[in-house]
Amino acid sequence: MSSAISADKIRGFIAPIPTVFDGKGEPDLPLIAQMADFFLEAGVHGFFVLGSLGMGPVCTNEQRKAVAEAVIDRVARRVPVMIQVGATEPYSSMELAAHAQAAGADAIGVVGPYYFNNRTEWELIEHYRLIGTASDLPMLLYNNPLYSGYPCPPELMVKIRNVVPTVFGGKLARGNPVEALRYIDVLGPDFTAFTPIEVVVPGVELGVAGSIAAGPVAVVPELGVALVEAAQNGELDLAVKLQVAMLRYYRKQEYFWKTYGRGEYCEGWRLRGFDIVEYPRWPTPPMSEEDKRRYKANMDDFFVEVEGLLGRKVRVAGR
């Protein structure tokens, strides 16, 4: 296995690749590999595997290892791959972190231990310390208070980094530019911060490295790539126009999330050309034919608007 891509190369539009299933709760590994090709063709700058979109917390450790290997092998060092190894306790995470390194990952991400959300600060720091003993890969702290049940503020990240020197950055799942600036100020300019894509334009100007973005851009990653690249290249007029177009698109798509939950992603990826049997790893209501037409019309209109702003085509084929 060739050497890992260094942590300072992990920036830009990082795709949280989905873990799709075969209808019996098992990961559809060939289809996941096909989807990795799709995201690569869309121009993503890296992958975040087995996070929320990647269904890591609802998969077994053996399933998580299989998915990690499928993505790492398919990507083959073309862009960095981070494997999210967070779990409710440290021992599963230690096993997954060691496996990620052996499989050839470039970094690991760790969401705070969830469900038991009343742990003391000492317990949280020790949790991360133990994971850090299992792998010397760069570690991204995943601050997701909605799902973990508590925040990981910058002051706590400093304490974690003091005992886990491989910590290089954080994903601020509910972050805004002011919050991101707090993290950068407290942890220093070498801290790699990722914000939601909804606020990436001011974020990049403040020193944010990019976005690990789900939401509608998980279905249309080409447009997430275009937005982040415009912001990073200093094309601020274009970046602001793309940001506004994206926010309007997000507003249109809210209905589908509220009505179908994570099942709306499944229909979106089917529209992009993937024969997905099951996503997420639990039942969701089927989308009506009328709503499928509305979903596709919204997506098509969004592509037309953004491609008009860019003056070029960006849509890639699903297969």
Q: Decide if pLDDT at 14 tops 80.
A: yes
pLDDT, tens only, 185-203? 999 989 999 999 999 999 9
At residue 76, the pLDDT reads 97
Query: With a threshold of 0.85, does the pTM exceed it?
Result: yes
Cβ atoms of 200 and 233 within 8 Å: the answer is no
What are the structure tokens assigned to 178, written together? 């002011």
Closest CA to 47 of 74, 87, 20: 74
Average pLDDT score over residue span 55-78: 98
Q: Decide if pLDDT at 3 tops 80.
A: no
pLDDT, tens only, 37-60? 999 999 999 999 999 999 999 999
At residue 318, the pLDDT reads 66
At residue 217, the pLDDT reads 94
Instruction: Give the separation between CA 32 and CA 15, rounded to whole angstroms.
Output: 13
Q: Decide if pLDDT at 1 tops 60.
A: no
| 12-15 and 81-84 strand pairing | unpaired
Q: Which domains does the chain have, with CATH numbers?
A: 7-310 (3.20.20.70)
* pLDDT cut 90: percent of the chain above it: 93
At residue 5, the pLDDT reads 85
Q: Decide if pLDDT at 173 tops 80.
A: yes
* Residue 263 pLDDT class (50, 70, 90 cuts): very high
> 105 CB contacts (<8 Å, ≥6 apart)?
4, 68, 72, 81, 82, 83, 137
pLDDT, tens only, 213-244? 888 899 999 999 999 999 999 999 999 999 99
Cβ atoms of 265 and 276 within 8 Å: the answer is no
Residue 215 backbone phi and psi in degrees, to 5: 65, -160
| 107-111 and 139-143 strand pairing | parallel
Asked whether the CA dihedral 238, 243, 249, 252 is positive or negative, the reply is: negative
Mean pLDDT over all residues of the chain?
A: 95
Instruction: Give the separation between CA 141 and CA 312, rounded to whole angstroms.
Output: 36
At residue 2, the pLDDT reads 54
Average pLDDT score over residue span 136-144: 96
